[in-house]
C-alpha cells in the first residue's frame, strides 16, 4: 500500500494508522464504487479486493464490537468474527434488528466464540425475542424502534466502547442522523457500476462534516479515513 497523504510514511503499519483515538468511538467502515454504489449485485464483496480485505481484517481486530444491521447480516451471510493475533477472543457481532427476522440456527449464533449480541426494541415479537435470548445476549434499546444512542450506550456499559459499524446504508444513516458517527473508513473501488444500489447512507438527509485523516492507494483502490470535524 502507498500513502497519498503527506504526513504518512510509505508502507504504513495499518494497526497504527487505524488505532482508535479513544475508547468511546464509533467507526463506520464501508466500500463503494467510484460512482457511489455501496454494493454490486446486492453484495459489498463484489466491490472488494485483496487489499480491502486486509484493511477489513485490521479494523475488526482493533474493535471491541462489530455492529451490523439485520439486512446486511442476512445478505452477506455473516459468520462469527475470527480471533486476530494478540487478542484473547474475537470481538462479538452485534446485530441490530427491530423485527428479529434472523436465523438463530445459523453459525453466527451457534458457533460464536464471543457470544453474539442482538440489539432490538420492546415491540419485537415475543416468540422471536425468546428465541434470541436462548442463543445471544439481548439488548432492548427502544420502544417501537431501536434508538441508536441507547444502543451505543448499552454497548459502552458492557465495556464495548470501540465500535466498528459495517452498515448497511440504512443503519449508517440512523447513526449519522443521531450525530453519533466519529469516523468513516471508506474504500473506493476502481469501478463504475450504475444501477439501483444505495449510497453508503440510505435514509433521511443529514450533514456530517468530515476531515481527511489519511488516504492510501493500492492498485487503484483508495482507502480514506475521515474523522468528524
Nearest to 60 by CA among 131, 205, 166: 166
Cα separation, 137 vs 159, whole angstroms: 14
**pLDDT on residue 6:** 47
**pLDDT on residue 2:** 62
- Report helix, strand or coil for 107: helix
Which long-range CB contacts under 8 A does 141-146 form with residues at least 24 apart?
Answer: 144/98, 145/98, 145/121, 146/96, 146/97, 146/98, 146/119, 146/120, 146/121, 146/174
Give the residues of the chain that fall short of pLDDT 50.
6
Cα separation, 71 vs 173, whole angstroms: 14
Nearest to 112 by CA among 132, 89, 133: 89
**pLDDT on residue 131:** 98
Q: Identify the helix (H) or strand (E) that includes residue 156.
A: helix 148-157
Separation in Å, CA 29 to CA 113, 154, 225: 23, 21, 9
R_g of the chain, CA atoms, integer Å: 17
Tens-place pLDDT, residues 58-103: 999 999 999 999 999 999 999 999 999 889 999 999 999 999 999 9
Amino acid at each position: 500500500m502507498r500513502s497519498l497523504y503527506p504526513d504518512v510514511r510509505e508502507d504504513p503499519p495499518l494497526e497504527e494508522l487505524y488505532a482508535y483515538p479513544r475508547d468511546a468511538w464509533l467507526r463506520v467502515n464501508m466500500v463503494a464504487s467510484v460512482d457511489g454504489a455501496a454494493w454490486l449485485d446486492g453484495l459489498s464483496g463484489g466491490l472488494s479486493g485483496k487489499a480491502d480485505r486486509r484493511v477489513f481484517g485490521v479494523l475488526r481486530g482493533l474493535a471491541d464490537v462489530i455492529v451490523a444491521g439485520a439486512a446486511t447480516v442476512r445478505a452477506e451471510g455473516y459468520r462469527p468474527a475470527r480471533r486476530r493475533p494478540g487478542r484473547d477472543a474475537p470481538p462479538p457481532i452485534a446485530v441490530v434488528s427491530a423485527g428479529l427476522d434472523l436465523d438463530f440456527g445459523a453459525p453466527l449464533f451457534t458457533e460464536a466464540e464471543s457470544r453474539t449480541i442482538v440489539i432490538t426494541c420492546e415491540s419485537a415479537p415475543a416468540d422471536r425475542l425468546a428465541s434470541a435470548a436462548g442463543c445471544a445476549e439481548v439488548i432492548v434499546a427502544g420502544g417501537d424502534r431501536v434508538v441508536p444512542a441507547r444502543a451505543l450506550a448499552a454497548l459502552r456499559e458492557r465495556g464495548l466502547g470501540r465500535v466498528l459499524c459495517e452498515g448497511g446504508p440504512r443503519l449508517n444513516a440512523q447513526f449519522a442522523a443521531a450525530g453519533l458517527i466519529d469516523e468513516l473508513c471508506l474504500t473506493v473501488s476502481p469501478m463504475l457500476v450504475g444501477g439501483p444500489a444505495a449510497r453508503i447512507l440510505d435514509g433521511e438527509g443529514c450533514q456530517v462534516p468530515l476531515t481527511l485523516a489519511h488516504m492510501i492507494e493500492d492498485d487503484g483502490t483508495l482507502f480514506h479515513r475521515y474523522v468528524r470535524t
